[in-house]
Structure 1
């Protein structure tokens, strides 16, 4: 049991900050696992021609590639803490990087290295579980969004008939109130598609014009 527990803990850590060969494998595994909610999130963004999009916790760059392939976006920037996973994202988005339409940055989500009012949309898919400080991160999201821009944060809150009370509480008691405290308007919770029996939801909020 000791070895099984050790392996389980190692894999769990890889989801937060993938490293090495195992981290590369985990990154590609997440690409396959999260396709339904990734496509849904991109639909929610409603990207129009000429917009600039920021993804927090970009992982192996699957959402970035879909955005570049499916929309008329001007620029997609992906931020992740893991240099391993950024390498995977760079391989997946080679054409976008070469065309100067994609950029990858290693950084912490609560200290974004971008100018104020730089992006039209901000998205994050299954990354919020690992954010160290929600208030600081939402303050940064608000700062880098242009007036009228908005964020979409996608996550799971249940599996089959099991409601995850910890996640539910985090959303109701912290995520939504913190988004409002940081100035976001029309903060809403939407139900999304099921993904491998997991219940997908998204929280959205707009910055004032």
Structure 2
């Protein structure tokens, strides 16, 4: 894979340290994400509708903030994560040390289109604020469809919503890009809902 793969949303290379954090800049980006994504993660947690004993996968877990919410506020039996950054795996492991030691949270290296999980192995999949930097939208969605069980749910969120903050307003996707996400989901999932939460635009797809 190229060191700076192109984004499907912009067509240009992704050079932001938030895409694949590494080194000092990556660690700084992780700290920034930890604080700025808190509201987004709170909003998305409810949309996930986690049930007792669910197996959950987070794609692009970053410094591990949503993983902590999943571990402390839900009854999910298994929480897995994939992220392309070794720096973020280390940060997320530190942030979820007890849950990792207990075996409830497992963190790996991977991407939306290459999770490394078995077919139909999870009940819920969530991605917060990274779909627009995937190199291949359709390949990522096909992979998430593959790993979620029939009747399972995939939730994809990106900066936006009905009351976005300054950062979300700057990063929100134009309508045609949001339409492309929805159209791509509808081609492979049985039921797709598009909603605006406070700080994020959310797509909820049921296999």
Q: Residues 157 and 40 of structure 1: is their aligned pair in 2 closer, same or farther, counting only changes over 3 Å?
A: closer
1:93 is matched with 96
Shift of 1:147: 1.0
Q: Residues 167 and 80 of structure 1: is their aligned pair in 2 closer, same or farther, counting only changes over 3 Å?
A: farther
The SS at the match of 2:91 is: helix
The SS at the match of 2:32 is: helix
Shift of 1:171: 1.3
Q: Residues 21 and 121 of structure 1: is their aligned pair in 2 closer, same or farther, counting only changes over 3 Å?
A: same
The SS at the match of 2:76 is: coil
1:186 is aligned to 2:201: no
Query: Of Structure 1 and Structure 2, which has the larger fraction of its residues in strand?
Result: 1
Contact 1:157 1:168 in 2 (8 A): no
1:113 is aligned to 2:124: no
Shift of 1:108: 2.2
Shift of 1:156: 1.7
Q: Residues 160 and 168 of structure 1: is their aligned pair in 2 closer, same or farther, counting only changes over 3 Å?
A: farther
Aligned equivalents of 1:117, 1:156: Cα separation in 2: 28
TM-score of the pair, normalised by structure 2: 0.86
The SS at the match of 1:15 is: coil
1:24 is aligned to 2:27: yes
1:6 is matched with none
Q: Residues 189 and 91 of structure 1: is their aligned pair in 2 closer, same or farther, counting only changes over 3 Å?
A: same
Q: Residues 157 and 71 of structure 1: is their aligned pair in 2 closer, same or farther, counting only changes over 3 Å?
A: closer
Q: Residues 94 and 168 of structure 1: is their aligned pair in 2 closer, same or farther, counting only changes over 3 Å?
A: same
Shift of 1:164: 7.2
Contact 2:81 2:108 in 1 (8 A): yes
Shift of 1:185: 2.1
Q: Residues 155 and 100 of structure 1: is their aligned pair in 2 closer, same or farther, counting only changes over 3 Å?
A: same
The SS at the match of 1:117 is: coil
What whole-Å deviation, never above 9, does each CA across 1:87-137 have from its counterpart, x for those lacking one?
100100111111110011111221220110100000010011111111111
Shift of 1:76: 0.7
Unaligned segments of structure 1, at least 5 residues: 1-10, 195-199
1:53 is aligned to 2:56: yes
The SS at the match of 2:135 is: coil
- The equivalences for 1:1-209 within 5 A come to 13-157=16-160, 167-172=174-179, 174-182=180-188, 184-194=189-199, 200-207=200-207
Number of residues of Structure 1 aligned to a counterpart in Structure 2: 190
RMSD between aligned residues: 2.1
TM-score of the pair, normalised by structure 1: 0.85
Shift of 1:42: 0.8
